[in-house]
A and B are shown apart, each in its own frame.
Chain A
Amino acid sequence: MSTKQSPLDKLGEALGFGSETNEWPAVRRERLVAYGLLTLYVFVVWFPIYYIFVTSIQPTSEVLSLPINFLPQQATAQNYVEIFSNRPFETYTLNSIVVATTTTVVCVVLGTLSGYTFSRYEFLGNKALLLSIVAARMIPPIALIVPFFEIMSNPPLVGGLTGSLYDTRIALILTYTFFNLPFAVWIMKNYFDGVPRSLDEQAKVDGCSRWEGFFKIVLPVAKPGIAATAILAFIFSWNEFVFALVLTSTEQAQTLPIAVSLFVADDFVDWAHLAAGGMIAALPGILFGLFFQRYIVSGLTQGAVKE
């Protein structure tokens, strides 16, 4: 078995399959197949992203020329410069940042506090309340576009004070908080369920009040859960399109997803500029995906799978 190394063996070793020869062939071949299939999948999945990136760094004349250049002949930042000078892209970007950040902060603060209490305390109707929060996640948001449009155009309580909230960032923040808060509560509740209760009890023995115990002892342990909640809330609000489409109409409140869709005119699409705008809108997703994938996965699985 160990006399001669086949080329496949060498490849296997280079890929880090270890050198225990008794593993070969079944297990190793299986891993090699897994690597092959996964690489193929990743290649196919990333190709569209690559293609829109290539489009974004080519001048329009080159984007609309045949045969298609899958490798850009002359890379340029022209499209990126132009969308900021011809269109209010800095305003769209700012709107997106303000809306997504505010929503994230509100969801994290309220979600963490109430998630903790739902995890630790029995109070009147706590089970029913938790269940209704979860059920709220099931409501299809699009079913609510009519009422949200009506409410934001003519708010019932603050109407006399502020007038219409239509086409304001506040309308988007309120709406996105509504859709993300139940999820935030759920993730944080599940996260705190995993934090040992003995910590709370120790804090109590040490003479901490409930608030001190929460802020000084339990909260620091919950940082990964908070990170997961924050990242998911941020991505969801940054990417949201339908409600932004219905609740805004000018650059005063329009966010990047809307800005990108505006490159599509009735019979004409400005592909080079759209690609540049699309890359900007996609940037947080790509960065979060590459650097915080772990938190996204744990947040999703905690929010979705755990009972």
Chain B
Amino acid sequence: MTQTEQSTRRLLDRLFVPLTVGPTLLWIASIIVYPTAKLFWSSLFFQNPITGAKEFVGLRNFERLLFQSGGWLGTFNPDFVSYTWHTVVYVGFSVSISFVLGLGIAILLNKDMKGRGWFRTAVIVPWILPYVMSGLMWRWMFQTQYGAINGVLTQAGIIGEKIAFLSDPTLAMIALIVADVWVFTPFIIIILLAGLQNVPAQLYDAAEVDGASRWARFWNVTYPFLKPSILVALTIRIIFDIRALDIVWVMTEGGPGKSTEVWASWLYRTAQVFSKPGEGAALGVVMLAVTFGIVTVLYKLFGDTPYA
């Protein structure tokens, strides 16, 4: 090896860290810092939908979003209140139902038995299909005349008249929750199953010898090991549900009326359909703040190291 070859080699080695990490950091920084800063910046402007001219309006977009015109505290914007409530109902029910269901299935799958891999494969598939296709699929399932659910119910003689699921405010919300649970329960199953597999088998045996009941075993042996997985499953699931538009948009478009309008569909409607990017960005800022708030609370409840 010649002198120059050796020094090139040494130089390349010294550049290992910057060359491997550099591109990633540059990429993420330029495309995180910039859009995030732009989000905050855009939220301060009003854009004329016809001329496209922008006007600085300060916090007026936030005011319009959160409060009724002309008022401040105590007079919340009724749209904001009702869409927030829809979001809470949608996220609350689908996360808790899929959590309970997912925990149950994960416990069953954690048993040492033949065909476990096969079941795991069958269980995971709904989560990896495009959400849009799943949403449309459920819209088809709930369709009034030719949908499978009405088909099963009428052809089995359970109901006489077909139900217009997606035209009724309450039933439409239930239909959305069913679709959401269908899509995301596999995610809960995978994460919790990974947690269950960390529980040392000897601890179970010891607890059994001690005569601990099933519940006692779950709370004292399983739960402490499962806590980190529960935290991750709930955090990611809640964050994802608040921001997920796909299923709501293709199943109900926020309807009938505005009965299934949630934050995500509202944001899309405001920013795109009504072309009010300033108000859309303001709602984006609110969602960002709420998301970080929820993550912090969940970590306080279930863990101690945020974002680890």
Contacts and interface: CB of A to CB of B under 8 A. Distances in A.
Nearest to A301: B194
Interface of B: 9, 12-13, 16-17, 19-21, 23-25, 27-28, 31-32, 34-36, 38-39, 42, 104-105, 108-109, 111, 113-115, 117, 119-126, 128-133, 136-141, 143, 145-146, 148, 151, 154-155, 182, 187, 190-191, 193-195, 228-229, 232, 236, 239, 242-246, 250, 264, 267-268, 271-272, 277, 280-281, 283-285, 287-288, 291-292, 295, 305, 307-308
A285 B157 CA distance: 36
A289 B28 contact: no
A131 interface: yes
A195 interface: no
A142 B36 contact: no
Contacts of A11: none
A51 B132 contact: no
A149 B31 CA distance: 13
Given A132-B32, A145-B272, 4 more contacts: A16-B115, A64-B145, A114-B23, A239-B129
Contacts of B151: 67-68, 70
Contact of A146 (B42, B119, B264, B305): B42
A118 interface: yes
B27 A34 contact: no
Instruction: Tell me if B's interface is mostly helix, strand, loop or mixed.
Output: helix
B105 to A, nearest CB: 6
Interface in A227-248: 235, 238-239, 241-242, 246
Contacts of B24: 110-111, 113-114, 133, 181, 185
B141 A116 contact: no
B307 A51 contact: no
Contacts of B305: 307
Nearest to A280: B133
Given A113-B20, A147-B281, A131 B307 contact: yes
Contact of A296 (B124, B137, B155, B288): B124
B295 to A, nearest CB: 6
Contact of B131 (A68, A117, A241, A300): A241
A150 B123 contact: no
Give chain A's interface residue range (CB within 8 Å of chain B): 35 or more
Contacts of B16: 117, 121, 210-211, 214
B34 A118 contact: no
Contacts of A147: 34-36, 38-39, 42, 281
Minimum-distance CB pairs A-B, first 4 = A143-B284, A68-B151, A140-B243, A301-B194
A165 interface: no
Interface in A125-140: 129, 131-136, 138-140
Contacts of B155: 67-68
Given A45-B126, A147-B35, A289 B246 contact: no
Given A146-B280, A150-B277, A68 B105 contact: no
Given A31-B111, A45-B122, A257-B132, A178 B32 contact: yes
A260 B182 contact: no
A70 B150 CA distance: 12
Interface stretch (A2-10, A35-43, A72-80, A83-91): A35-43
A148 B145 CA distance: 40
Of A138, A177, A264, most B-chain CB atoms within 10 Å = A138
A113 B132 CA distance: 33
B4 to A, nearest CB: 15
Interface string A130-172: 0111111011111111111111000010000000000000000
Contacts of A114: 20-21, 23-25
A49 B141 CA distance: 10
Nearest to B240: A140
Contacts of B133: 257, 260, 278, 281-282
Contact of B113 (A34, A47, A214): A34
A304 interface: yes
Contacts of B250: 261, 264
Interface string A236-270: 00110110001000000000110011011000010
Nearest to B114: A16
Nearest to B194: A301
Contacts of B39: 143-144, 146-147
B284 to A, nearest CB: 4
A259 to B, nearest CB: 10
B242 to A, nearest CB: 7
Interface in A154-211: 156, 174, 177-178, 181-182, 185, 209-211
Given A52-B137, A146-B39, A63 B146 contact: yes
A21 interface: no
A257 B39 CA distance: 26
A94 interface: no
B190 A286 contact: no
A129 B23 CA distance: 13
Contacts of A34: 108, 111, 113
Given A185-B24, A211-B12, A257-B130, A275 B125 contact: no
A275 B137 CA distance: 8
Contacts of B232: 304-305
Interface in A26-60: 30-31, 34-35, 37-38, 41-42, 45-49, 51-52, 55
